[in-house]
Amino acid sequence: MANRYWNEYQKTIADDRYYYERSCIRQTFFPGSETAFLKIMKDELGKDIFDDFRLHTCTGIGYHTDVVPLETTMTVVARIFSLMTERGYENLVPSCITSFGVFTEMIHMWQEHPELLEQTRENLYKACKREFEMPKNVAHPSDLIFKYRFELAEKMKYRLVNRFTGKPLNVVEHIGCHYAKLFPDKGVGKAEFPYVLAGMIEAWGGHVVDYPERRHCCGFGFRQYLVQENRGYSVSNTKKKLESMEPYEPDFIVSNCPGCSMFLDRWQYTIAEMEHKTYDREGYGIPVLTYEEMAGLLLGYDPWVLGLQIHQVQCERLLDKIGIPYDPKQKYNSASGKILRAPEKPENLLV
């Protein structure tokens, strides 16, 4: 895939000194991803990235479901900025794509309506006697991995290549809607053909699958899932994407959004239950990785430390294709060595 217009716009991504904002849900969904990202930034790239234990929600899910009013979201976001200001950082890196969208949106609103910014400063001060500066640069962690993808490639032990055939792995990339669909100029490659994950895949030896429903929503869609009666919409949207990518026989899916990675993975089991159907040849489903997991695996990190055992679709077949070693006995051991309760047949989607 090549298009000269993709390369005309380059998003500004700060070089160093990042303030990291963890996600509310990613640590549960993908327990090793954020740790892997921090390890990559610090140990592999030698960057200054601050992981602040005092951080809290950005209100994103509540905001997008009309539970939290705008003024509250602005004040909560302002508090996060004040913590960053207090630590002496100016480059904000939110782990969650929804937080990235919320921060970008609030900054945009404050720039367009300075009276809202003044009101927010007043609200924050009244609430907790805090003051803040707006970040100079807001980048998603996937932007940073993209920025340093070639440096990381030099350190990687493995490539996105099928060791049995020697061919590049077919990789479906899925970008969170709140990454570039809200503000196209805030995403690498803009909204139509975001290049942030595609650039990683290409740099690391894989082949990006371009399928008809590439830009379609993953199915999460906030209200589609959070309102129980609407969950049929959520499953049907995921199904639409899986059906569309099926003929291309993807080896795995990678995403930069917590909701997308979660639902593209979990709904495969639900669809298998509902329709006795999987979208791979063997009936085990298509593995779904976060971009940190993808990078971590290629750098040689232990798949179980990365948390791949927590995924619905199991990853051993993918690890075998790439040639990444793993110890099946350690799969359900905790980081402290404690043996966790293992599912009976985790690889089975069709039951």
Residues making contact with another protein (CB under 8 A): 1, 3-6, 190, 192-193, 210-215, 247-248
- Of 60 and 189, the one with the shorter C-beta distance to another protein is 189
- Of 158 and 193, the one with the shorter C-beta distance to another protein is 193
> Minimum Å distance from CB 272 to another protein?
23
- Of 265 and 280, the one with the shorter C-beta distance to another protein is 280
- H-run or E-run covering 38: helix 33-39
Burial letters 183-222, b for 16+ CB under 10 A, else e: beebbbbbbebbbbbbbbbbbbbbbbbebeebeebbbbbb
Are 145 and 136 a contacting pair, CB within 8 Å? no
Distance, CA of 183 to CA of 178 (rounded, Å): 8
> Minimum Å distance from CB 279 to another protein?
14
Distance, CA of 17 to CA of 39 (rounded, Å): 15
> Minimum Å distance from CB 216 to another protein?
9
> Minimum Å distance from CB 338 to another protein?
47
> Minimum Å distance from CB 282 to another protein?
20
- Of 150 and 248, the one with the shorter C-beta distance to another protein is 248
Cα dist from 16 to 10, 155, 176, 193, 294, whole Å: 17, 19, 24, 27, 22
Token digits of residue 332? 């359900």
- Of 79 and 214, the one with the shorter C-beta distance to another protein is 214
Question: CA-based Rg of the chain, rounded to a whole angstrom?
Answer: 20
- Of 94 and 176, the one with the shorter C-beta distance to another protein is 176
> Minimum Å distance from CB 31 to another protein?
34
Cross-strand partners of 208:
171
How long, in residues, is the chain?
351
Which residue in this structure is represented by tokens 């969170």?
A: 176
> Minimum Å distance from CB 314 to another protein?
27
- Counting Cα atoms < 13 Å in the Cβ hemisphere of 259 gives 23
> Minimum Å distance from CB 59 to another protein?
30
Look at phi and psi of residue 166 and say left if phi exceeds 0, alpha if psi is from -120 to 50, else beta: left
The residues, any chain, with a CB within 8 Å of residue 88's CB and separated by 6 or more, are none
Nearest to 140 by CA among 83, 183, 78, 109: 183
- Of 4 and 329, the one with the shorter C-beta distance to another protein is 4
- Of 6 and 326, the one with the shorter C-beta distance to another protein is 6
- H-run or E-run covering 28: helix 26-29
